[in-house]
Every structure is written in C-alpha cells, then in structure tokens.
Amino acid sequence: MISAQFNAKEVENKWYEYWMKNNYFTSKPDHRTPYTIVIPPPNVTGVLHMGHMLNNTIQDVLIRRARLKGFNACWVPGTDHASIATEAKVVAKLKSEGINKNDLTREEFLKHAWDWTTKYGGTILEQLKQLGCSCDWSRTKFTMDDDMSASVIHSFVDLYNKGLIYRGYRMVNWDPEAKTTLSDEEVIFEERQGKLYFLNYKIEGSEDFLTVATTRPETIFGDTAICINPNDERFIHLKGKKAIVPICGRVIPIIEDEYVDIEFGTGCLKVTPAHDMNDKTLGEKHNLEIIDIFNEDASLNSFGLHYLGKDRFVVRDEIALELEKIGALAKTEIHLNKVGTSERTKAVIEPRLSDQWFLSMEELVKPAIKAVLETEEVKLYPSRFNNTYKHWLENIRDWNISRQLWWGQQIPAYYYGDGKEDFVVAENIEEALVLAKIKTNNQQLTTTNLKQDADALDTWFSSWLWPMAVFGGILNPENEDFKYYYPTNDLVTGPDILFFWVARMIIAGYEYAGEKPFTNVYLTGLVRDKQRRKMSKSLGNSPEPLELIEKFGADGVRVGLLLSASAGNDIMFDEELCNQGKAFSNKIWNAFKLIKGWEVSDTIPQPESSKVAIEWYEAKLQETLLNLENDFEKYRLSEALMGSYKLVWDDFCSWFLEMIKPGYQQPIDVKTFEAAIDFLESNLKILNPFMPFLTEEIWHLIADRTPQEALIISVYPEIKSFNATLISDFNTIIEVISGIRTVRKDKNIAFKDAIDLKILNNDALTTKYDSVVRKLGNIALLEYVIDKVVDALSYRVNANEYFIPISGSIDKDAEILKLNEELHYYKGFLRSVQNKLSNEKFVNGAPEKVLDMERKKEADTVGKIATIEQSLAGLK
C-alpha cells in the first residue's frame, strides 16, 4: 500500500539503516576511477549548525552523483581536536568543579580533556547522518588519533631537519583569555571607539614637559624612551635630554628617529618595546631596555606598582583618573582605533615578546602560488577568490606554530640543559636521547635528563596534512589507499578559512606528495537570515538544524538550502525555502501515486498525443541532462537543482503527465505507462543526489528491488543526442495552450465544455502537436483558416493568430464594452510609464534596476494593448 502522505521521518530512518547495512558508503581501492572528498573536520565537541548543513549537503550531492556515475566514491569524515576551543571548554568545566588547571599535571589535565572528548565528541557526525550524509564512516578520523598525531610529529621533525622550523624570540599575538599565542591570520581587526590620552612627561632637571598621545595609558609602566623626529624643529631643545615617566618616576632617554611622523599626534612618541611591534623595532635599533608589564592573563605584574594584579582595562580607567589628579593628563579625545581580537575567544590581543616556534614560509609557499595562479592545477570556485588567495600568499609571514596549550600534539623538542639552544628534535624520547648524547658528547645522559617542550602545536598544523594523513600518506606514502585516493577531487569549504586551511593544505601537498591535494575548491557563502545578518545564537536568528529536519524532512531542508546557495555568495536563509523543498517532495510523491493509480491495458492503442508527449519529454530530459553536466562542471549546484526542479515540477508533472493522463475511469495503454515509469525512474536518478530519501523510497515502491538494484548504486542517465527543434516547437505550443486556458478562465468557460479553435498559421507551425492542443484545451474542432475569424475571441502567439468562436455563449456587446474599458486603462497606464521614461531627470537619476522595471512595464503593456485590440477586431 502506498501511503496518502509522504512520511519523511519513517522513510529517513528506514533507508539510512538500509544503506548502512549494505555498506553502500564504504569504499575500497578497485578497478574504477576514484572520486574522493575529505570532509572539513568540524570541532570534535561541536554540534550541527546551518553552515555545516549547507557545506555537507553540497558534499553529499557531489559524492552521491559521482557514485551514480560509476566512480568509486569515497567521502572521508572526521573531526578536529580544536585545541583552543576544546581546552577552553575543559578549563571552564574544571573551574565549575572547583579545579584550577594550574594545580594539575599535564597528564591529569589531558585525562579530563579526553573524558570530555569521549563524552561530547562525535555528536556532530551522528547529526550528519540525519541529514543523509553518505560518508564512509569506517574511515572516520580524529586529528588526535595515534596515526594522525604521529603524522603531525613526523612532519614537524622533517621540516625542522630541513631547516624550515626554528625557534625565535619574537613579538607574537597573545590571547590573554586562552593564554596562548595566535598566528597573524587568527587575529580579527575591529574598528572600535576609544580614547586618545594626552600625557605630560616632565623633562629631567627642569619644570618643562613634553606631551605624548597614546590609546593605552596603562602601558606607561613599560616605557623605556621618548622618541622625536630629528627634523622636527619644535623639539630641538629636547635633544640629548631625558624625561620622567609619570607615576613610576622612571627616567628614560629622549631618542631621535625619522620613524616618528611629525604630523601625527603631538610629534612625540612613547616607546614601549615589550608591548608594540613598532616600538620593539625601535628598541632593538636604539638598544633600549625591554620591560614586560603584563601577566599572561593581561593583568599587570609588579612593574605596575599599586595596580598589581588588576586587569589592563580596569587599570586604563583608574590610571587616567590618577594621571589627571597629578596633572599629567592634559586632555582626552574620542578616537576610532583598529583593535586586534582573537578569532576564537574574541579577547583583545596583546602584543607580547616570547620564545616561540616558527615555520619559514618563503620557499614553501611558491608551489602553492603557482598551482592556483599560474598553472591552475587547483581551481577556486568562484574564481574571484583568486585575488584574495594571491594577496595572502604573496604577503605571507613565517607561521607561528606553537601554542601555550596542553590539548594537542606536544612539540617534539627535548631539552637537555638550561640554554635556549640546549635541545634536540625527534619523533620520540628514545630517538631524542640518541641525538642529545651526540650533541653533548655525554654518553651518561638518560631519558630522565630530557624535558619535552611544554607547548602544543597549532591545530592548523595538524589539519593542513588532513587530505594526506587520512590515507596514511605522511607515514607511508607508498600505501595502496594513498596512491589510489590521492590527490582528492573536490574540497567544499568556506572562504573564511581559505588561508587558514585551504592554502596550507596546498602548501603541504606539494611539500610532501609533490602534487596538489585536490583539483577543485568550492567556496560556499555564509548562511544569513532574511535581514542579511550572520546567524548566531546571541541574535536568536539561527534555527536548530535538527528541528528543521523534523519539521520539513531532510530532503526538504536540503532542497531549501541548495535552491539559494550559489557558489561564494551568502545565503539569505528563510524557512519558507525548506517549506518549498517539502512541497516539492509532496509534488513528486503525488505524481508517483497518480501514475501507480492508473489501470493499464495492453489492448488499447497508444494515443497520438501520448506519442508526441513521449518524444518531447525525452528531448527535454536530454536537454536537462546536458545543462546539469555543465552546471556541475562549473559548481553551480543551485542552478543544477533548479534545473532538476523545473524538469520534474513543470515539464513532467504539469505537462507530460497531463498529456498522457487517461480519461476519467479509463485505462492507459501499456506502452505509454512503461514510458512514464522509465521517465519517472530517470527523474529519480537525477534527483537522488539532492533528495536521497524520497527518491529511494519511490524507487523501491515502483518495483521490488534487490540490494544490488538500489537507487543509490544505480546508473545515472546517459546523455544522448536530441532534437532541439522539438523543444522550441513545444514551447510555442505551451503558449498556445496557455492562451486557451486564459480565455476559459476570463470567460468562465468550464474545461468540461468543449470549444472550437481556429488557427491562422502565418509562420507554418508544425501540426505535429495538434493532438496535444486538442487534449489539453478540450478542443472539439481544431481548424486551420486563411482569414481572420469574426465573432471570435483571439490571441496571438508569434506570427500565428488563434480564434475561439464565441457562438452565443458570451454576450458580445458586454464583451466589447469590457475590452474597451481595459484598452482605455492600459493606454493610460502606458502613457504614464512612457512619460517617466522620456523624463531625462528621472532616467539619469534612477537606479538601473528601476529603469529595467519601467521598460518591462512598457513592453508588457504594449503587448496587452495589442492583444485587446486583436480581440476587439475579432468581435466587430
């Protein structure tokens, strides 16, 4: 029995279990051509959000279509350990239990972190199953799996031995909330309104003072010089003198450097080498003292005197009051400033001097630049992101790869002494001991004499190996999986991690495999709400994905997302799109029920209208397949879905089924029925990548199928040559039939009442479709004439004129009166539109979209007037 309504929930559970049971998602190397995608690994403890829904729906569409087209489709799932985010959650959990991270050993903390990951990890992968994602779950990877971590450590050691990884004392981006460094790319600059403080510094040995402008008065405790431009005549009297820092009373030199902009601020610059990159450069040049005034949480240390232990922003307000009280604050001004913030924690970044590990990028980046911008071995979709890619990679800086965290791969550097250079780098402590004995010439060393670096590696330093490491390509590049599946085919991700992840994977691919990691990168847009706001829990505008699936079905949600998801463009998400997807599911279901409900006869002949319908739909199907191939090649998935949608809703349901539908309580001939089933099956194959659950359900209701005959592994329709003239001719016939329907509607002529149609065939349109016109228009007599027909309603399609005799069923005088009223209205409307378009001021000032709209109004109205005048001529 076929249920009256499509039950998405029941169907989804049934078929996903069936697919899993029959291992359709599982891939192993064989004779077929591989098609491979690696999932952008979400945070291990994350949950599904709208961005994940979009990204993974696109990947599933690509992988399911490849499977249908005969490729050995392999979609590798997995999760990322997300060191900063996960460690922050674990620290917060421990804090809620009264446990301080600093009171734990590394091993104790990691046990808590693993417990957290085990408890909450993997939820998102289970949620992806509800969306219908056909990943090879047997290949699921986690970036902290033993083999994945071993790959990361191997890579670090290899790059160190090549001289590309080094340890340096540099100014880094410090996240005081996460208490770790960040790479430049993890810093987001925001424009914020603050204050500019004008501070007075006394000149030593006099009552004079100089004024300095700063946005950060709390950093005066770290000042070690005042700098002036040697060419600034205003400060000639200050050369060689010293100034006194307010509050702390430190005497500092007044130095000269052309770096100071004479036009900016007061022309005097306070120099704080420990807390500003430019000041550090000045400090090194002039051999200045470096005074670090902050603790790792950005509270002030003992150099902050009576502000010891207070947060930097609290001190900023309090010190302003103290400076004002002692007469050292000249004035304040409102000031817009670009402030660096942490991408993860949103904390304001603090420049900080620290010993860190860096990866030299100058040489590594060259093959990645060439691959995208020169040879196009790797293509970005849309290509406009090539410019962003070019800018980042041509201005790349060395990558700070160390993080002051415990959750992640621990840096494999082992110290055997107290000096900065007293270390060796090895994949394990046993190998490190061998190297340390050689380096020190001390054979008495033991592993107890070695201490591993406490820092962890940047999470991106593990995920940049993802396409290789998931197939064991770092540790064993000659293994079967790696040689078969790598390089992968497509990567689907967001442009926000084009540099963080995509570019770095390309760099790693050429460094370790000597070739690209993937061929195509499909960059999705951000999912926004109808008001174009980014979706977030704080705004309350982000729907729960699983609730959407519950409400609209997985297929409905997939369709709703993809209908508006053109590559690289943000998506204005509206739940109505999912409702549209659900309505499409119901349309397909009802079409299937209609066909299955027909009585089939093998004795009646095939009507001419059905023959024509079959010939036309075959051509339409082939045209759509050709367009789909083009859309998929260009990663226009939204257009591909819309093309499939129109084929099924408009061409199949609205036209083909209407053309072949038998009369009330009449059977359908077997030849037409079989053609309808064949077309339905082709439609299901086309729709299956987009709507896997509904299509699989209908596929098995059409006929009993074995597991080897399931839709998921069937064969995609083959593209064949087709007669394009059939399609263009039928488009004309659609207009003809629409004209008949319009007359029936306007004149309240019921469809059951047959009418006559006379055609003045001026452009020699083929009579091939007359049987279709008769059937869909319920035409009693269809006749070709050589002159216009009087006492008839008429309309025009191209050069042909169509006449429907009124034969007393319509009040002729009333009809003429009505048409004249309409003609008067439209002529007045046309004048108003044309007056606008002839107004030079309006044309020059109006946006192009408004002008286009007015021109369309003009053209439509001219057409309506012509139609009305035709009808009037036929009635006179």
Is residue 467 scored above 60 in pLDDT? yes
Is residue 780 scored above 90 in pLDDT? yes
Q: What is the mean pLDDT of residues 7-25?
A: 96
Query: How far is CA 778 from each of CA 424, 435, 756, 770, 775, rounded to the nearest angstrom?
Result: 90, 93, 9, 11, 5
Position with higher pLDDT, 543 vs 490: 490
CA atoms within 13 A on the CB side of 35: 17
Each residue of 198-224: pLDDT tens digit?
Answer: 999 999 888 888 999 898 999 999 999
628 contacts 69 by C-beta, under 8 angstroms: no
Each residue of 799-854: pLDDT tens digit?
Answer: 888 999 986 556 778 778 888 888 899 999 999 999 988 988 888 888 888 888 88
Phi-psi category of residue 39: left, alpha or beta, with phi > 0 → left and psi -120 to 50 → alpha: beta
Percent of the chain with pLDDT over 70: 98
What's the pLDDT at 831? Answer: 92
- DSSP H or E stretch at residue 338: strand 329-342
Residue 65's pLDDT band, with cuts at 50, 70 and 90, is very high
Distance CA(265)–CA(278), nearest Å, equals 16
For 178-299, strand residue ranges (E) read 180-182, 187-203, 209-214, 225-228, 242-244, 251-256, 268-271
615 contacts 774 by C-beta, under 8 angstroms: no
Return the closest-CA partner of residue 423 out of 454, 458, 400, 398.
454
Each residue of 658-707: pLDDT tens digit?
Answer: 999 999 889 999 999 999 999 999 999 999 999 999 999 999 999 999 99
Region of poorest pLDDT, from 42-51, 119-128, 181-190, 504-513: 181-190
Residue in this structure with the two tokens 């993890």, named with its chain if needed: 186
Residue in this structure with the two tokens 């087209």, named with its chain if needed: 69
User: For residue 242, what are its two tokens?
Assistant: 């010293």
The radius of gyration of the chain's CA atoms, rounded to the nearest angstrom, is 37
List beta partners, residue 399. Answer: 359
What value, to the nearest 5°, has the Cα angle with vertex 519 and ends 188 and 400?
35
337 contacts 191 by C-beta, under 8 angstroms: yes
Each residue of 89-131: pLDDT tens digit?
Answer: 898 899 899 998 889 999 999 999 999 999 888 889 999 999 9
What's the pLDDT at 808? Answer: 58
Is residue 538 scored above 70 in pLDDT? no
Distance CA(103)–CA(95), nearest Å, equals 11
Return the closest-CA partner of residue 43 out of 149, 136, 117.
117
Distance CA(706)–CA(744), nearest Å, equals 49
Return the closest-CA partner of residue 687 out of 606, 768, 780, 589.
589
- Which amino acid would we find at residue 736? V
Each residue of 408-423: pLDDT tens digit?
Answer: 999 999 999 887 889 9
**What single DSSP character describes residue 102?**
G
